[in-house]
Amino acid sequence: MAKRLKIQIFQFSLIGISNAVVDIGSLNLFLWLWPTQAAGLLLTFNTLAYTLAILNSYFWNTIYTFKHAANKNRTEFSLFIAQAVIALLISNVTFIGAIQLFQQFPFQTPSNFVMQNTAKILAMFTSSSFSFIVMKFFLFKDKPKN
């Protein structure tokens, strides 16, 4: 069990790297095309980038990390989407909250690029931690052996 958990965490982390590339890459593309500090647009960009990463995550996790437990049916996909929506809320709250916190520092805040990407990394860490726990212990939990 402990060995399998370590392997799953490693696999989930590798997929997480690809998700991070999709997520951060998409966000930075949106910010490069339409630079902004407006919270509404930042939320929109973060939501779009996160959605692309979630689709990437579902694809890879069902065929790689949790393939032994993945059913790939509508119910499972619906539950995956439900956890993804909650994780998106966690991501958005963390992303905007971190940006607002950084803006409150009494010293010179970093460039918008650094600030937004640091906030994105914090948001990715919190939401992906939540997602792993839900996927491992609820959504793709190991089936009991008979």
What's the confidence (pLDDT) of residue 136? 77
| Alpha carbons 53 and 21: distance in angstroms, whole number | 8
The contacts found for 98-105 with CB under 8 angstroms, 24 or more apart, are 98/122, 98/123, 99/42
Domain-located, residue 146: no
The total domain count for the chain is 1
The runs of H, that is alpha helices, within the chain are: 2-33, 39-60, 74-103, 112-134
Radius of gyration over alpha carbons of the chain, in Å?
17
What's the confidence (pLDDT) of residue 21? 95
Domain-located, residue 72: yes
What's the confidence (pLDDT) of residue 66? 66
| Alpha carbons 83 and 113: distance in angstroms, whole number | 29
Domain-located, residue 7: yes
Domain-located, residue 145: no
In the chain (146 residues long), the average pLDDT of successive 10-residue segments reads 77 86 96 93 94 88 69 78 93 94 77 90 92 80 60
Domain that holds residue 34: 2-139
Domain-located, residue 51: yes
What lies within 8 Å, CB to CB, of 144 at 6+ separation is: none
